[in-house]
């Protein structure tokens, strides 16, 4: 089928080129465009996606780990249009966007996947973000690496922000390891690698449910998600500053 | 120069097709994927991009306004691979991602553009984010709409977060308009539409400088950007809670 599709596309491109060259290339360059969203989704294996996201974290950080682990698999199973997306385009999201500590990169990467594959992507984002801020994470267990056989500390972030999420984990981990665990420590990197794997798997579970099990995502109300009531993040501050 | 580049690319594609067809298309089809990043950038007009971003805000919100205003123009001037990106893929970033108040959508959209077009994208993000949090915004003046002829309030966000940035503007605007300006007000929407236009223009100015004027972006140090020192956001809180 791919072969037939390719030959069909080849013919189109061939004709396009002829027309394009005749017109000096201008018409051809301006006509082709991406198919409208949402793009087709096929059922994926959360465990397989998580394993790849874990390894991808150590190459292109948290956001790209979640994004590319899912897109790479959709490109393999569906082909175009997913093959047209560059697999390192979400590298910028690492560390809350280039280390700015804003949105957790794993959530930014997953949110883009929902936008690409779900008509009703906003409630999907609500469900994932709400789960993220209320769940003790990371839960993913790697098959290899220095920490794979040992238990590993988890924390509840109470926020979708990288800064708050990392800071809360570092506090728990410092008690767990009996020494200060800093932002630039190996343990923190391992935590974020496991978090990327955990969130990638959760995103795939939600996508499988949405597309194949009739799952209806629920909206999270304004005050709960926009933190316009200030407390959820800000009680952390009060403790730190007082 | 663009025309010459297109004809050169056309020849490449033509040769690729010949080779591909000779090999039954399979090798060509199976190897087909997005070209590696960064993608070619051509000089754009900040004013033209800003005008489109302003109108696009009212269709697909802040993040998509910045992203699609630039990608749409690159798709017109460069063609592929930009034509392969769906123009609503960053809709999810609106309101700090689906209304969660995290990263300002205008910055998330611009950061993706930098990842797509700049080898050294992280310092470019640093320069934009640092300018955003230190500058009185929005500065864009629309040609039409209910507020186009009147002066309009500006505020300094001291943060790249939607929640902090919007909240600070609402405080300034409430004084300016002499009545409470809330998150869901028309004035707040107009502010974010102008902010999208302002940030889109700034992103294009930085891209033009980076690619054509030898501009070297500077890194912003950890404590200044990740807010691990807590104060920049948290002094807001202290005022609110005390």
User: pLDDT tens digit string along A13-64?
Assistant: 444 333 333 333 333 344 578 999 999 999 999 999 999 999 999 999 999 9
DSSP state of B219: P
Task: Judge: B85–A84 Cβ closer than 8 Å, yes or no.
Answer: yes
Task: Judge: B29–A6 Cβ closer than 8 Å, yes or no.
Answer: yes
pLDDT at A180 over 70: yes
Question: Which residue of chain B has the CA closest to A165?
Answer: B228
Say whether pTM exceeds 0.90. Answer: no
Task: Judge: A3–B21 Cβ closer than 8 Å, yes or no.
Answer: no
Task: Judge: B17–A14 Cβ closer than 8 Å, yes or no.
Answer: yes
| Residues of chain B falling short of pLDDT 70 | 1-31, 223, 226-242
- Whether B95 contacts B61, CB under 8 Å: yes
Q: What is the pLDDT of residue A161?
A: 93
- Whether A83 contacts B33, CB under 8 Å: yes
DSSP state of A33: -
The token duo for B65 is 């306004």
Burial B145-170 (b: 16+ CB within 10 A, else e): eebeeeebbbbebbbbbbbbbbbbbb
Report residue A219: phi and psi, to 5°.
Answer: -80, 145
The token duo for A29 is 């360059």
pLDDT at A223 over 70: no
Task: Judge: A85–B84 Cβ closer than 8 Å, yes or no.
Answer: yes
Q: What is the pLDDT of residue A147?
A: 75
Q: Check residues A94 and B33 and name the one with the higher pLDDT.
A: A94
The token duo for B27 is 């090798």
Q: What is the pLDDT of residue B226?
A: 57
Task: Judge: A228–B163 Cβ closer than 8 Å, yes or no.
Answer: yes
User: Chain B within 8 Å of A95 (Cβ-Cβ)?
Assistant: yes
Selected residue of B102, B104, B225 to mutate for chain A interface (largest A Cβ count, 10 A):
B102
Selected residue of B226, B229, B242 to mutate for chain A interface (largest A Cβ count, 10 A):
B226
For the ranges A51-55, A150-154, A225-229, B46-50, which has the lowest average pLDDT? A225-229
Q: How confident is the model at residue A226 (pLDDT cuts 50, 70, 90)?
A: low
d(CA B222, CA B130): 12
User: Chain A within 8 Å of B14 (Cβ-Cβ)?
Assistant: yes
- Whether B121 contacts B114, CB under 8 Å: yes
Least CB-CB distance to A84: which of B3, B81, B228? Answer: B81
Question: Which residue of chain B has the CA closest to A160?
Answer: B102
- Whether A104 contacts A110, CB under 8 Å: no
Burial class (CB in 10 A: 0-12, 13-18, 19+), B196: buried
The Cα of B149 is separated from the nearest Cα of chain A by a number of Å equal to: 31
Q: What is the pLDDT of residue A18?
A: 37
- How far, CA to CA in Å, does B150 sit from each of A71, B141, B177? 46, 9, 12
Question: Which residue of chain A has the CA closest to B226?
Answer: A100
d(CA B187, CA B170): 9
B window 153-212, beta carbon within 8 A of A:
160-163, 167, 183
For the ranges A5-9, A218-222, B147-151, which has the lowest average pLDDT? A5-9
Helices A105-117 + A186-212 axis angle, to 10: 20
Count how many pairs of residues, chain A against chain B, have C-beta atoms within 8 Å.
Answer: 225
Q: How confident is the model at residue A184 (pLDDT cuts 50, 70, 90)?
A: confident
- How far, CA to CA in Å, does A43 sit from each of A118, A123, A203, A206? 13, 20, 12, 11
pLDDT at A1 over 50: no
Q: Which residues pair with A103 in a beta bridge?
A: A161
Selected residue of A79, A102, A126, A228 to mutate for chain B interface (largest B Cβ count, 10 A):
A102
Selected residue of B98, B168, B183, B227 to mutate for chain A interface (largest A Cβ count, 10 A):
B98
| Residues in chain A closer than 8 A to B85 (CB atoms) | 34, 84-85
The Cα of A29 is separated from the nearest Cα of chain B by a number of Å equal to: 5
Least CB-CB distance to B114: which of A2, A92, A167? Answer: A92
- Whether B103 contacts A109, CB under 8 Å: no
Task: List, for residues B65-107, the tens digit of each pLDDT value.
Answer: 999 999 999 999 999 999 999 999 999 999 999 999 999 999 9
Q: What is the pLDDT of residue B6?
A: 44
pLDDT at A197 over 60: yes
User: Chain A within 8 Å of B234 (Cβ-Cβ)?
Assistant: yes
Within 8 A by CB and 6+ apart from B175, the residues are none
Q: Check residues B241 and A203 and name the one with the higher pLDDT.
A: A203
Task: Judge: B161–A84 Cβ closer than 8 Å, yes or no.
Answer: no
């Amino acid at each position: 089928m791919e072969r037939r599709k390719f030959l069909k596309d080849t013919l189109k491109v061939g004709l396009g080129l002829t027309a394009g060259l005749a017109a000096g290339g201008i018409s051809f360059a301006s006509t082709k465009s991406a198919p409208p969203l949402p793009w087709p989704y096929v059922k994926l294996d959360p465990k397989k996606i998580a394993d790849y996201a874990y390894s991808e974290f150590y190459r292109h950080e948290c956001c790209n780990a979640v994004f590319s682990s899912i897109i790479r698999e959709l490109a393999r199973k569906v082909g175009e249009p997913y093959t047209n997306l560059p697999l390192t385009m979400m590298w910028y999201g690492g560390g809350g966007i280039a280390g700015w500590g804003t949105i957790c990169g794993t959530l930014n990467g997953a949110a883009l996947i929902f936008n690409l594959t779900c008509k009703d992507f906003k409630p999907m984002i609500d469900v994932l973000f709400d789960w993220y801020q209320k769940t003790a994470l990371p839960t993913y267990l790697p098959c290899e690496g220095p920490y794979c056989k040992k238990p590993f500390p988890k924390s509840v972030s109470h926020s979708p922000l990288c800064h708050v999420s990392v800071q809360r984990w570092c506090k728990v981990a410092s008690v767990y390891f009996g020494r200060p665990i800093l932002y630039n420590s190996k343990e923190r990197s391992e935590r974020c690698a496991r978090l990327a794997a955990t969130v990638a798997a959760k995103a795939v579970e939600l996508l499988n449910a949405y597309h194949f099990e009739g799952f209806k995502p629920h909206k999270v109300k304004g005050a709960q998600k926009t933190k316009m009531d200030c407390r959820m993040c800000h009680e952390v501050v009060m403790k730190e500053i007082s």
